[in-house]
C-alpha cells in the first residue's frame, strides 16, 4: 500500500476509534515527561562538569543529586499515569470494537456465514479485534508518541549542543530508516500468510472440538493431527522467515549506526581540543546519540506489531462496512400466520445454479405438510426461504395472501418455530433453558409442557428436578430426551407455524416414540412443515411433497 493511502486509511481508523481527547492528553503527558527528563539531565550535567567539579563544590554536587532524584520521582509518577491511561484506553477500545463487531455479526445475513468459516470468524473476533483495539493506545503511542517524539526532541537538544554532529547523526538514521522500509516490505507478505494460517489452524481446532465424535468414529484422528502439524510447521516457518529478515536488518542497522560514536569523537573531540566545546558537551553528545539509537530501535521493534494491527483494523473496518445486513424491523408487523403460499419460487445460492425451481405450494391453516426427498434435494432450503434467511430469486412467498416482504423479518420469525435435530443446551437449569425463550412463562406452564412431552416424570425423578443443570450433567438425558428441550422451547413460544427439520433421524426405538408424541403435541392445530425420512412421521401429515433437485415431483 502506498504511503499516502496508508495515511488516509490510518486517519479513517483514528476517526473511527474515537477518544481523541484522551489520546491528546496521553501525547502531551509523554512530551512533558520526555522534555523534563532531557532538560534536567542536560542542565545538571553541564553544571556539575563545568562548574561544581572544577570548584571542588561537594555541597553543589549533593544539591544537584537531590534535584535529580526529585525530578525523576515526578517523571516516574507521570510515566505511571500515562501507562495507566493507555492500558485503560486500550481495554475500552478493544471492548467497543468487540461490541460493534458482535452486533454486526448478529445483523449480517446468512450469506456472510456461508462465505466465512468458523475459524475466520473466530480469528476475526479474537485476534483481529484485539490487535485493532491496541493500534492507537498501545502501538501508535509506543512507536510514534514515545519512539518518534522522543527521537525528535532528543535531536532538537542535540542541535543546540552541536548542529553539524546532529545533522550527521540524523543522516545516519535516515539511511537506517530506508533500510528498515526495504526490510519491512519483505515481511508484509509473510505476515499476511501467517494470518491466513492462523485461520486454518483455528478451523482445524474448531473442527476437532465440534466434530470430535465424527472424527473419532471415522478414525481420522491421525489424519487431522497430521493436517494440523503441517499447518503449524508452515506457521513456524513463516514466523522464522520474518525473524530472519528482522535479524538481518538488526545487524545491518547496528553497523550503520555504529558510525555515530567515531563521528562524535572525531568532530567534537577536535572542538574540545580547539577550546570550542566543553567536556560536558561531548559527554552529552555521546549520551544523547545512545538515546537516539535506543528510540530508533524502539520505533523499529514496533513496526511488525504496527503492520499486524493495521491489517487487523482494516479488516475490522471492512467488515463493519459490509452492507449485507438484515434490517429485521423493516416492514409491517405480522400478527399471525393463517396461510402460506409459495408462488413460482426459484432460488439460487450463487445466482447461477437453481437450488429451488418453480416451487408452488399452498398451506392452509392447521395443515401439516411432509417434505421428503433425497439429501440435497432442497428441503431445508424451502424452509430457509420461508423464514426469510434467504429470499426467492424469482417468484413470491405469500403469507395471509400478502407478499411476505411486506412484513418485518422479526415478526415473521417470531411466528415460526423451527426445530432442528441439534439441541443448543445452555449451561443452566432445565427450567432456565426454557425461560431463555420466554421469560414470562411460569414454572407450572413449563411443567405442563413437559407433561405433554412425557418427560415430566423423568425430570422430577432427578435429584434437583427442574433445577438440574443438564449442561454440566449431559448424560442425565438421552439425546432424544434432550431433543425434547427444543420442542418444549417452541411450545413455550407457541408460534403459528412449526417447521421440523429431520428431528427423527438417529433415534432409538424408545426415544422415537417419545419424539413422535412430541411432534403430535407441537404441531397440534398449527401449520406444520415436517421434513422427514421416516414413513411413520409422514403418516401424521395431510400432504406429502416429494422434492427432487429442487422441484416438486409428486
Using CB distances below 5 to 8 A depending on partner kind, what does residue 84 bind out of ligand ATP, Mg ion, none?
A: none
Q: How far is the CB of 504 from ligand ATP (least distance, A)?
A: 12
Q: Could you write out the DSSP letters of every residue in 163-222?
A: HHHHHHHHHHHHHHHHHHHHHHHHHHHHHHHHHHHHHHHHHHHHHHHHTHHHHHHTT-HH
Q: Which of 228, 528, 235 is nearest to 371 (CA)?
A: 528
Residue 395 CB burial class (10 angstroms; 0-12, 13-18, ≥19)? middle
Contact (Cβ atoms closer than 8 angstroms) between residue 525 and residue 497: no
CA atoms within 13 A on the CB side of 40: 18
Q: Which stretch binds ligand ATP (CB under 6 A): 221-229, 287-295, 379-387, 511-519?
A: 379-387
Using CB distances below 5 to 8 A depending on partner kind, what does residue 257 bind out of Mg ion, ligand ATP, none?
A: none
Using CB distances below 5 to 8 A depending on partner kind, what does residue 95 bind out of ligand ATP, Mg ion, none?
A: none
Is position 187 an interface residue for ligand ATP (rule: CB under 6 A)? no
Q: How far is the CB of 347 from Mg ion (least distance, A)?
A: 14
Residue number, 253 or 418, with CB nearest to Mg ion: 418
Q: Which stretch binds Mg ion (CB under 5 A): 56-64, 323-331, 372-380, 518-526?
A: 372-380
Which one of residues 116, 239, 380, 538 is an interface residue with ligand ATP (CB under 6 A)? 380
Check residue 162 and report its DSSP letter: -
- Integer Cα distance of 554 and 552 in angstroms: 6
Site mask, ligand ATP, residues 43-82, x = CB under 6 A?
A: ----------------------------------------
The Cβ of residue 319 has, within 10 Å, a number of other Cβ atoms equal to 19
Q: How far is the CB of 338 from ligand ATP (least distance, A)?
A: 26
How big is the chain by its Cα radius of gyration, in Å? 35
Q: How far is the CB of 376 from Mg ion (least distance, A)?
A: 8
169 backbone φψ class: left, alpha, beta (φ>0; ψ -120 to 50)? alpha
Q: How far is the CB of 373 from Mg ion (least distance, A)?
A: 9
Is position 469 an interface residue for Mg ion (rule: CB under 5 A)? no
CA atoms within 13 A on the CB side of 518: 29
* Pairing relationship of beta strands 543-548 and 551-552 according to DSSP bridges: antiparallel
Q: Which stretch binds ligand ATP (CB under 6 A): 80-88, 194-202, 220-228, 368-376?
A: 368-376
Using CB distances below 5 to 8 A depending on partner kind, what does residue 440 bind out of Mg ion, ligand ATP, none?
A: none
Q: Among all chains, which residue has been given the C-alpha cell 452486533?
A: 103
Which one of residues 45, 123, 268, 355 is an interface residue with ligand ATP (CB under 6 A)? 355
Q: Which stretch binds ligand ATP (CB under 6 A): 193-201, 227-235, 297-305, 370-378?
A: 370-378
Residue number, 380 or 538, with CB nearest to Mg ion: 380
Residue number, 16 or 413, with CB nearest to ligand ATP: 413
The Cβ of residue 333 has, within 10 Å, a number of other Cβ atoms equal to 11
CA atoms within 13 A on the CB side of 493: 22
Which one of residues 82, 354, 379, 526 is an interface residue with ligand ATP (CB under 6 A)? 379
Is position 351 an interface residue for ligand ATP (rule: CB under 6 A)? no
Give the CA dihedral 399, 402, 406, 410, nearest 10 degrees. -10
Q: How far is the CB of 506 from Mg ion (least distance, A)?
A: 14
- Integer Cα distance of 375 and 550 in angstroms: 11
* Pairing relationship of beta strands 368-373 and 527-531 according to DSSP bridges: parallel
The sign one gets for the Cα dihedral 533, 539, 540, 545 is: positive
Site mask, ligand ATP, residues 113-142, x = CB under 6 A?
A: -x----------------------------
Interacting residues of 367 by C-beta distance below 8 A, sequence separation 6+ = 527, 528, 542, 543
Q: How many of the chain's residues bind Mg ion (CB under 5 A)? A: 1
Is position 421 an interface residue for Mg ion (rule: CB under 5 A)? no
Residue number, 421 or 438, with CB nearest to ligand ATP: 421
Residue number, 111 or 248, with CB nearest to ligand ATP: 111
Residue number, 262 or 376, with CB nearest to Mg ion: 376
CA atoms within 13 A on the CB side of 254: 6
- Applying the rule CB under 5 A, the residues between 205 and 244 that interact with Mg ion are none
Residue number, 371 or 446, with CB nearest to ligand ATP: 371
Which one of residues 380, 479, 546, 549 is an interface residue with Mg ion (CB under 5 A)? 380
Residue 428 CB burial class (10 angstroms; 0-12, 13-18, ≥19)? middle
Contact (Cβ atoms closer than 8 angstroms) between residue 295 and residue 150: yes
Contact (Cβ atoms closer than 8 angstroms) between residue 468 and residue 491: no
Using CB distances below 5 to 8 A depending on partner kind, what does residue 177 bind out of ligand ATP, Mg ion, none?
A: none
Q: How far is the CB of 410 from ligand ATP (least distance, A)?
A: 22
Residue 543: strand pairing partners: 369
Residue number, 94 or 384, with CB nearest to ligand ATP: 384
Using CB under 6 A, list all residues that contact ligand ATP. 114, 349, 355, 373, 375-381
Q: Which residues bind Mg ion (CB under 5 A)?
A: 380
Amino acid at each position: 500500500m502506498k504511503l499516502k493511502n496508508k495515511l488516509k486509511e490510518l486517519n479513517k481508523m483514528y476517526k473511527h476509534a474515537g477518544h481523541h481527547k484522551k489520546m491528546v492528553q496521553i501525547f502531551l503527558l509523554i512530551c512533558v515527561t520526555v522534555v523534563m527528563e532531557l532538560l534536567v539531565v542536560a542542565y545538571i550535567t553541564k553544571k556539575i562538569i563545568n562548574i561544581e567539579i572544577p570548584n571542588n563544590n561537594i555541597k553543589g554536587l549533593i544539591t544537584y543529586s537531590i534535584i535529580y532524584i526529585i525530578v525523576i520521582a515526578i517523571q516516574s509518577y507521570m510515566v505511571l499515569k500515562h501507562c495507566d491511561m493507555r492500558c485503560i484506553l486500550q481495554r475500552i477500545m478493544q471492548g467497543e470494537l468487540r461490541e460493534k463487531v458482535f452486533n454486526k455479526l448478529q445483523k449480517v445475513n446468512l450469506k456472510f456465514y456461508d462465505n466465512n468459516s468458523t475459524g475466520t470468524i473466530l480469528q476475526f473476533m479474537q485476534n483481529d479485534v484485539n490487535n485493532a483495539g491496541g493500534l492507537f493506545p498501545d502501538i501508535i503511542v509506543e512507536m510514534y508518541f514515545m519512539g518518534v517524539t522522543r527521537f525528535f526532541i532528543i535531536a532538537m537538544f542535540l542541535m543546540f549542543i552541536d548542529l553539524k554532529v546532529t545533522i550527521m547523526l540524523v543522516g545516519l538514521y535516515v539511511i537506517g530508516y530506508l533500510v528498515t522500509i526495504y526490510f519491512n516490505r519483505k515481511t508484509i507478505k509473510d505476515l499476511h500468510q501467517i494470518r491466513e494460517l492462523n485461520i486454518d489452524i483455528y478451523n482445524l481446532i474448531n473442527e476437532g472440538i465440534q466434530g470430535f465424535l465424527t472424527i473419532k468414529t471415522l478414525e481420522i484422528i491421525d489424519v487431522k493431527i497430521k493436517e494440523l502439524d503441517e499447518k503449524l510447521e508452515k506457521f513456524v516457518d513463516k514466523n522464522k522467515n520474518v525473524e530472519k529478515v528482522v535479524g538481518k536488518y538488526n545487524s545491518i542497522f547496528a553497523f550503520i549506526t555504529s558510525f555515530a560514536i567515531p563521528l562524535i569523537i572525531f568532530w567534537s573531540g577536535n572542538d574540545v581540543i580547539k577550546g570550542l566545546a566543553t567536556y560536558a558537551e561531548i559527554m552529552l553528545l555521546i549520551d544523547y546519540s545512545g538515546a537516539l539509537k535506543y528510540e530508533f530501535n524502539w520505533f523499529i521493534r514496533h513496526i511488525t506489531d504496527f503492520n499486524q494491527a493495521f491489517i487487523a483494523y482494516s479488516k475490522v473496518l471492512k467488515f463493519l462496512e459490509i452492507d449485507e445486513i438484515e434490517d429485521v424491523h423493516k416492514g409491517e408487523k405480522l400478527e399471525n400466520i393463517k396461510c402460506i403460499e409459495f408462488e413460482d419460487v426459484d432460488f439460487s445460492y450463487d445466482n447461477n445454479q437453481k437450488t429451488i425451481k418453480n416451487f408452488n405450494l399452498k398451506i392452509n391453516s392447521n395443515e401439516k405438510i411432509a417434505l421428503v426427498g433425497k439429501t440435497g434435494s432442497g428441503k431445508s432450503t424451502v424452509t430457509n426461504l420461508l423464514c426469510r434467511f434467504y429470499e426467492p430469486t424469482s417468484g413470491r412467498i405469500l403469507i395471509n395472501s400478502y407478499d411476505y416482504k411486506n412484513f418485518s423479518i422479526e415478526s415473521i420469525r417470531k411466528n415460526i418455530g423451527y426445530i432442528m435435530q441439534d439441541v443448543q443446551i445452555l449451561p443452566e437449569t432445565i427450567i432456565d433453558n426454557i425461560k431463555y425463550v420466554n421469560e414470562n412463562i411460569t414454572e407450572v406452564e413449563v411443567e405442563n409442557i413437559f407433561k405433554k412431552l412425557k418427560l415430566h416424570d423423568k425430570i422430577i425423578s432427578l435429584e434437583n428436578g427442574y433445577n438440574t443443570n443438564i449442561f454440566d450433567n449431559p448424560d442425565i438425558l438421552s439425546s432424544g430426551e434432550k431433543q425434547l428441550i427444543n420442542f418444549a422451547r417452541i411450545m413455550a413460544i407457541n408460534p403459528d407455524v412449526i417447521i421440523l427439520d429431520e428431528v427423527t433421524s438417529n433415534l432409538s426405538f424408545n426415544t422415537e416414540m417419545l419424539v413422535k408424541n412430541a411432534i403430535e403435541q407441537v404441531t397440534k392445530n398449527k401449520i406444520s412443515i415436517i421434513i422427514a425420512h421416516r414413513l411413520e412421521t409422514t403418516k401424521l401429515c395431510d400432504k406429502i411433497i416429494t422434492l427432487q433437485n429442487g422441484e416438486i415431483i409428486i
